[in-house]
Amino acid sequence: MIISRRTLLQGTASAALVTSFGARAQSAEFVYKYANNLPVTHPMNLRAKEAADKIKQETNGRVEIQIFPNNQLGSDTDMLSQVRSGGVEFFTLSPLILSTLVPNASISGIGFAFPNYDAVWKAMDGELGAYVRGEIEKANLVVMDKIWDNGFRQITSSNRAIQTPEDLKGFKIRVPVSPLWTSMFTAFGSAPASINFAEVYPALQTGVVDGQENPLAIISTAKLYEVQKHVSMTNHMWDGFWFLANRRAWNRLPADLQAIVAKNLNEAAVAERADVAKLNAGLKDDLTAKGMVFNDPDPAPFREALRKAGFYAEWKKKYGDEAWSILEKAVGSNLS
């Protein structure tokens, strides 16, 4: 990674946040770090802070979770290594990026799989989520039952509105580090670049890429509107965050404390889902006022372009029939 001036400044700014985010450490028997890639103002961090406070209270001060937001401890790739080694105890990660360790974890991110949030939560709190959590546990990580919301993803650009799949041809777009993301935008004929979220703002600012894709809540809280012009409401995939724990650290907690931690993290996830849905629904006006220009493409030709490129057939083969049929059952349609 190239340490830019911005990264250094961000580091200094977020160092101050730890002090206010993480409470005093002296008294707690278990002081655990929770690292993530999102700004402190995103509902994920607000609800995690609330959960950490409740956990401290309900465990009579025995468990303290210190939150390190905003890639303060490194990129997603770094933090995934840290949660595996025990350098951090907790970490939230997109299922698609987690697929670099747990290949089938990305199945929930297949393009245009979920028509709406009802379908998402039914699947992720149901058989599909249980299947993926089983795969994650096999990789020796602990995962909480409730996945947190990131949202339906939209494409932003500095130089063009994406109205049809043709507009994606040759488009220099940043994608998170994940084979599924690269495959999807390659299928559209774009020029995808894998870049961790920690480096997205500077990559857009310096023109290394012309666009990126993320839910409105991130475009807003990470201030991507400062370096992007168009928002194309493609809703091309749903994305979330699995709340992961290092297994040895988790096993050090006595069962009663594990139960308190899990209950509060899962409740926070459900509250965060409602926050993000509300935020995403209200942000169009706000982002328009900040100078962004919205357009609403028809999703059908995009999905058809993926199908024609063999995207669904390829991933069905990669995930295998068992996983694919769980996905198809969940979304109630034949994807390929």
Minimum gap (Å) between residue 217 Cβ and ligand X2X: 10
Name residue 149's beta-bridge partners: 240
Residue with tokens 């459900």: 270
User: Counting contacts by CB under 6 A, is residue 75 touching ligand X2X?
Assistant: no
Least gap, CB of 92 to ligand X2X (angstroms): 8
Of 89 and 239, nearer to ligand X2X (C-beta) is: 239
Measured from the CB atom, the residue of 94 and 99 that comes closer to ligand X2X is 94
The minimum distance between CB 95 and ligand X2X, in angstroms, equals: 9
- Based on the shown chain and the rule CB under 6 A, indicate whether residue 37 belongs to the binding site for ligand X2X: yes
- C-alpha 195/C-alpha 172 separation (Å) is 12
What residues contact residue 87 under an 8 Å CB cut-off, 6+ apart? 81
User: According to the binding rule CB under 6 A, does residue 224 interact with ligand X2X?
Assistant: no
Question: Residue 216 is inside which H or E element, if any?
Answer: helix 216-221
Q: What is the C-alpha separation between 28 and 165, in angstroms, rounded?
A: 54
Q: Least distance to ligand X2X from the beta carbon of 168, Å?
A: 17
Establish if 218 lies at the interface with ligand X2X (CB under 6 A): yes
Task: State the nearest-atom distance from the C-beta of 83 to ligand X2X, in Å.
Answer: 14
Q: Indicate which single residue of 45, 150, 228, 232 sits in contact with ligand X2X (rule: CB under 6 A).
A: 150
Rounded to the nearest whole angstrom, what is the least distance from the CB of residue 280 to ligand X2X in the complex?
13
Q: Any idea which residue has 């909480």 for tokens?
A: 144
User: How many CB atoms sit inside 10 A of residue 99's CB?
Assistant: 24
By CB under 6 A, residue 157 contacts ligand X2X: no
Q: How many helices (H) and strands (E) in the chain?
A: 14, 12
Q: What are phi and psi of 195, to 5 degrees?
A: -140, 130
Query: Looking at 71, 94, 99, 106, which residue binds ligand X2X (CB under 6 A)?
Result: 94
Nearest-5° angle of CA 152, CA 153, CA 154? 125
Confirm if 218 and 41 have CB atoms less than 8 A apart. Answer: no
**Smallest distance from the beta carbon of 23 to ligand X2X, in angstroms?**
26
What string marks each residue from 194 to 213 as x (binds ligand X2X by CB under 6 A) or -? Answer: ---x----------------
Residue entry with tokens 């995939």: 237
Kindly tell me which residue out of 183, 239, 287, 335 binds ligand X2X, with binding defined by CB under 6 A: 239
User: What b/e readout covers 35-64, taking b as 16+ CB neighbours within 10 angstroms?
Assistant: bbbbbbebbbbebbbebbebbbebbeebbb
Residue 11-30 contact track with ligand X2X, rule CB under 6 A, x = bound = --------------------
Residues that bind ligand X2X (CB under 6 A): 37, 94, 97, 150, 176, 197, 214, 218, 239
